[in-house]
A and B are shown apart, each in its own frame.
Chain A
């Protein structure tokens, strides 16, 4: 069993002779980056944009919590709050969660399957730029009218009659560009996964994160067109009096809720799958143990299918046939099985192992802790009787945020700190990472726990103020303080990611003695990833390579014992 060596890492490269830097780039660094169709450049841009957007989303959340910190506050106007809320929702989903999962998968998975490139790189490159234009459109709209119709702009409220300004058009345009762009990146990754795996890399040997890549990209290929269709209909309604979502013209506002919630639920599940797989990789590497692959990968598939089918869990107060509501309840409660299996395996594997606590594992365990609170609280939200009480309140908000902050923020930091040496070629400052983790973790708890209480006391979401007779002040004040702590933690953690790139020593290709093939490439990998494509014989190809190197070195040493080669 391989044990992690102690920190800091100063090990020489495992096998320096099989990787090279490749030819010098012909263009300057930024021109190279902007015109690159390389999956690593695109993945890094997506991940960087996601981390920049984490800062923006946290800032918007902080402003909203500041407005809600005391009753009858006049810090923000109602319309400003609605705009912050709408932009916050879009940022968190479309500029943080989605690019983070797609970007990480797009960076890491081709390396893990031992591929030199992606299958259709120009498609991925086009996708990146569509995504970037979508982001520019959203934040550029602060110059005229940002979206103001809520996190999910329900028609008819988002129709031209009730929202005549450009806010909803911006929402449609930016989410459309982002979804289309990321769909193209996902399609490229999917083609790569099915065509460019290294010799011997059968599905049964593919790493967990690669499995997550396959499941998430397939899921995205299913749900993204549904969303694109829905926003196209909304656009036709707004611009050309389409009537798809108009109740009195043969359409139905409920149709929008079905279509949009299929997409949002699918995104929620994609996020969960991706970061559980990243946490799985981290746990495997740092404990030196393998998770039960069949159980975990099958659980991922189950989460993708059952979880997305549970979309009516969001619609328990809507007049739809009650069969749909029971179906949504059954599917959400069935999710207990795959989530429970994965959580059990991850936690018990860590518990039964000896390891040195490193930043990625710390973030990973934090992610599991926070997500467990959110997922457990979702149990109440998914039963019809309790949902008629608690949906559309801060209880639902807190449950969703515990899960998504757990997975996206903590899982995201876990994954990025884990692959940081690979992506940047530098080590990460782990002391600062541990400190920022503590702040973020405590901040999240303080920011969200009181909101459960506010929600059961009846505080409804999306309102820019509440009144002192509602007795909600204390919960919101505590939540505001927690959000401030969380914000400081996020700023420090992102600052650490930036500062470590210039301050910390260079990283070796294989700093943790990982088992999957991304650790074979240099840190950062050259444009063509690998000089020699490895043969894969097991689920732990990198360990095989290390053992082969040790064997060969021993043989060489034995053969040339009499005449040692000078260095």
Chain B
């Protein structure tokens, strides 16, 4: 009896709790063509899975029903095991075909934009390298600029993201644009996406990588191509400025110490001269 109640509880809990929650949050906002296919497949599978769970659990519920001792059991209807296996096989094969079709579509490289942005070879995706290190992502742009944590990409431009790692395995994870892909040392994992509209997508790494794992954030900033070009130029200028500043500072320090050394040298020469005179 308590099994009966518990099982009824499952279905009620499922209906009240999980279904609306899952249905509402099932789709991350698809911001790249491949993700839309992944979402469609997820919807199809969600319905299939829910149907399987409900059918199996209702059957268990029926099997566990309390028996009245007076009723004699009905002799079971014989079902051919071979036919059952073939039926299940057809079901599995259908799922495989559907999953393959949508997986292929979601893995396709989105159509490359006609007008290349700065640093993009015409007809090929814009190549950006994302390097995972404990516990920060670094993005290298074609013009030599780089940024940490925040990736800026142009809208409407197909991007090829080369995921590499300098230390441990890191989980690249932006559900709206690329989904997940592991950055593994010694290997390049390529993902492609094309964000059609500007927007900001935040996420975090998905493979345990040590003490700073929980703060290893990713922010993808999708802006218009002009803004993108300006942004990476600004980055480049900023980096050059910073480099110049460091060099200038270094030079100043060196000059200062050289000047000091000269003074000391002069003083010593003077001292020598004085002592020589004294002698």
Contacts and interface: CB of A to CB of B under 8 A. Distances in A.
A309 to B, nearest CB: 14
A475 interface: yes
Given A322-B107, A389-B175, A347 B63 contact: yes
A144 interface: no
Nearest to A388: B179
A154 interface: yes
A334 B91 CA distance: 9
A461 B214 CA distance: 10
B181 A369 contact: no
Nearest to A469: B202
B213 interface: yes
Contact of A456 (B25, B37, B102): B25
A449 B50 CA distance: 13
A385 B99 contact: yes
A354 B71 contact: yes
B38 A389 contact: yes
B167 interface: yes
Interface stretch (B5-13, B143-151, B265-273): B5-13
Given A351-B63, A458-B175, A385 B41 contact: yes
A463 interface: yes
Nearest to B61: A369
Given A380-B42, A435-B2, A252 B187 contact: yes
B244 to A, nearest CB: 33
Nearest to B213: A463
Contacts of A365: 3, 60, 63-64
Interface stretch (B204-212, B224-232, B248-256): B204-212
B95 A442 contact: no
A352 B203 CA distance: 51
Nearest to B189: A319
A321 to B, nearest CB: 12
Nearest to A355: B67
A248 interface: yes
A546 interface: no
Contacts of B42: 380, 385-386, 389-390
Contacts of B275: none
A156 B185 contact: yes
A383 B45 contact: yes
Given A154-B168, A333-B95, A380 B214 contact: no
Given A79-B211, A385-B106, A452-B18, A372 B180 contact: no
B261 interface: no
Given A385-B38, A458-B203, A453 B96 contact: no
B16 to A, nearest CB: 10
Contacts of A246: 185-186
Contacts of A462: 207-208, 213
A348 B206 contact: no
Contact of B2 (A352, A354, A437, A475): A437
Contacts of B81: 292, 294-295, 341, 345
B76 A352 contact: yes
Given A383-B45, A385-B106, A460-B205, A438 B25 contact: no
B67 A247 contact: no
B182 interface: yes
Interface in B198-243: 203-211, 213-214
Contacts of B180: 317, 388-389, 391-392
Contact of A329 (B49, B73, B103, B203): B103
A324 interface: no
Nearest to A373: B53
A493 to B, nearest CB: 13
Contacts, number: 275
A162 interface: yes
Nearest to B73: A354
A157 interface: yes
A333 to B, nearest CB: 5
A368 B64 CA distance: 12
A318 B206 CA distance: 12
Given A292-B81, A341-B81, A450-B18, A445 B13 contact: yes
Given A383-B41, A386-B41, A438-B5, A449 B14 contact: yes
Interface string A436-457: 0110011001100110110011
A345 B204 CA distance: 44
B22 A452 contact: yes
Contacts of A340: 84, 88, 91
Contacts of A78: 211, 213-214
A341 B185 CA distance: 43
B158 interface: no
Contacts of A30: none
A512 B211 CA distance: 54
A258 to B, nearest CB: 12
A349 B184 contact: no
B106 to A, nearest CB: 4
A254 B183 CA distance: 11
A438 B211 contact: no
B52 A449 contact: no
Contacts of A373: 53, 57
B92 interface: yes
A413 to B, nearest CB: 13
A376 B168 contact: no
Contact of B204 (A149, A368, A460): A460
A353 interface: yes
Nearest to A315: B182
Closest 4 CB pairs of A and B: A247-B186, A388-B179, A247-B185, A453-B21
13 contacts: A78-B213, A157-B168, A318-B184, A333-B92, A336-B91, A350-B64, A383-B95, A385-B34, A385-B41, A385-B99, A385-B107, A393-B206, A445-B13
Interface of B: 1-3, 5-7, 9-10, 13-14, 17-18, 21-22, 25-26, 28, 34-35, 37-38, 41-42, 45-46, 48-49, 52-53, 56-57, 59-60, 62-64, 66-67, 69, 71-77, 79, 81, 84-85, 88-89, 91-93, 95-96, 99-100, 102-103, 105-107, 134, 163, 167-169, 171, 173, 175, 178-182, 184-190, 203-211, 213-214
